[in-house]
């Protein structure tokens, strides 16, 4: 039985509120859970202390028995100095798409050609 500490959505349409819960990994997002550990209200200001409310003792208990937090919950736990979240690095994400690379290459070639023509134009009157 793989356990996850994750968010379960609640609240009205366009007014989300999330519960931080411990659930089986195969359970539906908003379905059955084992224990509610806290809440997350994304509509509150970032500096509001009620934006993320988590019972740290219970989270530490569930982490000790093998529950794995999702990335978003791990960000909350890292902010509260419960569990360290390593920064992710995806260098492929910063690369441009194929069409953009082709356009950049065409611009580079055009600039080189213009520089060659300018150099040739400056050489002819001097000779």
pLDDT means over runs of 10, the chain (127 residues) = 93 96 94 95 94 95 94 93 85 89 95 91 69
DSSP alpha helix (H) spans, the chain: 56-64, 71-79, 98-126
pLDDT at 53: 95
DSSP reduced 3-state for 92: helix
Contact between 57 and 38 under an 8 Å Cβ cutoff? The reply is no
Superfamily designation of domain 3-79: Ribosomal protein S16 (3.30.1320.10)
pLDDT at 86: 85
In sequence order, the 6+-apart residues with CB closer than 8 A to the CB of 79 are 52
Rg (Cα) of the chain, in Å, rounded? 27
pTM: 0.69
């Amino acid at each position: 039985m793989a356990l996850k500490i994750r968010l379960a959505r609640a609240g009205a349409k366009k007014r989300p509120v999330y519960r931080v819960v411990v659930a089986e990994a195969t359970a539906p997002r908003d379905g059955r859970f084992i224990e509610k550990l806290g809440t997350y209200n994304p509509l509150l200001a970032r500096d509001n202390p009620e934006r993320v409310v988590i019972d740290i003792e219970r989270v530490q208990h569930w982490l000790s028995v093998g529950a794995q937090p999702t990335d978003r919950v791990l960000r909350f736990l890292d902010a509260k100095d419960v569990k360290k979240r390593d920064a992710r690095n995806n260098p492929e994400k910063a690369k441009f798409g194929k069409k953009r690379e082709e356009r950049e290459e065409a611009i580079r070639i055009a600039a080189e050609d213009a520089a060659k023509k300018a150099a040739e134009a400056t050489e002819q009157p001097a000779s």
